């Protein structure tokens, strides 16, 4: 594996860029946390050999408001972030699938998803590129059946992130593919700062503010969020 490192230093912030052409690998089963640290919490019902096509989910049951139950397709995601000296925007992500059962069991399938473009600044340095998720994520959410059409979308129990990958193509300050189908837990350790924090390490199955109306569902960051968590817009499939 050939690795090239380029560092951009701006306003006291160092953004390292690592070009890596091999797939990321995991030792055991890991899951990303909301920051760039890595947690070892995974679904207890998923076997060690879970693949991207598996439907394994957590053992904890949730509950879902009927307005969020069903199968959804994303029509896009938009976000802004301002954290750790980096400001930026994200846009894209059409085509992922979200399935929510009445029990709260939830599967996010990134097959067919289109890339998310990001643009950020760190001091006088510009960071641009796009990223693409791959694989599936399985978990459970608690959206009380008595809730209104707006409220809190909250994962409960363990979430299985093991097959989630991310591919990153940079435009600036370097050009080219720097991460290719890297496991999200490995990316959380190696790549979060290298994209200026533009990649959400817990897409969809994180605590969010939801809004549903008929055939439309929005999942956005809770008030006060400063990290790269965008608002996903989905339509019933």
Instruction: Tell me the mean pLDDT per 10 residues along the chain, length 237.
Output: 39 42 36 40 34 41 85 96 90 98 97 97 93 98 85 95 97 95 93 83 95 95 77 97
Q: Which two tokens stand for residue 161?
A: 């992130």
119 vs 91: CA distance, rounded Å: 9
187 vs 219: CA distance, rounded Å: 23
Distance of CA 43 to the CA centre of its chain: 17
The answer to whether residues 131 and 124 touch, using CB atoms and an 8 Å cutoff, is no
Q: Give the H or E element holding residue 13.
A: strand 13-19
Residue 59: the pLDDT is: 42
Distance of CA 151 to the CA centre of its chain: 20
Residue 60: the pLDDT is: 53
Q: Give the H or E element holding residue 125.
A: strand 125-134
35 vs 141: CA distance, rounded Å: 20
Residue 32: the pLDDT is: 55
Distance of CA 82 to the CA centre of its chain: 17
Residue 142: the pLDDT is: 94
84 vs 157: CA distance, rounded Å: 30
The answer to whether residues 215 and 234 touch, using CB atoms and an 8 Å cutoff, is no
pTM check: above 0.85: no
31 vs 201: CA distance, rounded Å: 9
64 vs 51: CA distance, rounded Å: 26
Residue 72: the pLDDT is: 99
């Amino acid at each position: 594996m050939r690795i090239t490192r380029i560092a951009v230093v701006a306003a006291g912030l160092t953004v390292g860029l690592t070009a890596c052409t091999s797939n990321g690998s995991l030792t055991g089963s890991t899951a990303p946390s909301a920051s760039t640290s890595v947690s070892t919490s995974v679904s207890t019902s998923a076997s060690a050999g879970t693949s991207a096509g598996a439907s394994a989910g957590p053992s904890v049951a949730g509950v879902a408001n009927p307005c969020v139950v069903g199968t959804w397709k994303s029509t896009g995601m938009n976000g802004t972030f301002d954290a750790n000296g980096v400001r930026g925007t994200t846009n894209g992500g059409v085509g992922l699938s979200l399935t929510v059962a009445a029990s709260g069991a939830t599967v996010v399938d990134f097959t067919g998803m289109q890339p998310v473009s990001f643009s950020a600044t760190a001091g006088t340095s510009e960071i641009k590129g796009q990223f693409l998720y791959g694989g599936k994520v399985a978990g459970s959410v608690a959206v009380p059946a008595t809730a209104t059409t707006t409220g809190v979308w909250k994962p409960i129990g363990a979430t299985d992130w093991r097959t989630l990958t991310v591919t990153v193509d940079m435009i600036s300050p370097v050009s080219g593919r720097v991460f290719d189908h890297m496991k999200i837990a490995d990316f959380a350790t190696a790549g979060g700062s290298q994209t200026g924090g533009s990649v959400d390490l817990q897409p969809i199955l994180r605590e969010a503010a939801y809004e549903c109306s008929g055939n439309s569902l929005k999942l956005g960051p809770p008030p006060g969020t400063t990290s790269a968590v965008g608002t996903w817009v989905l339509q019933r499939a």
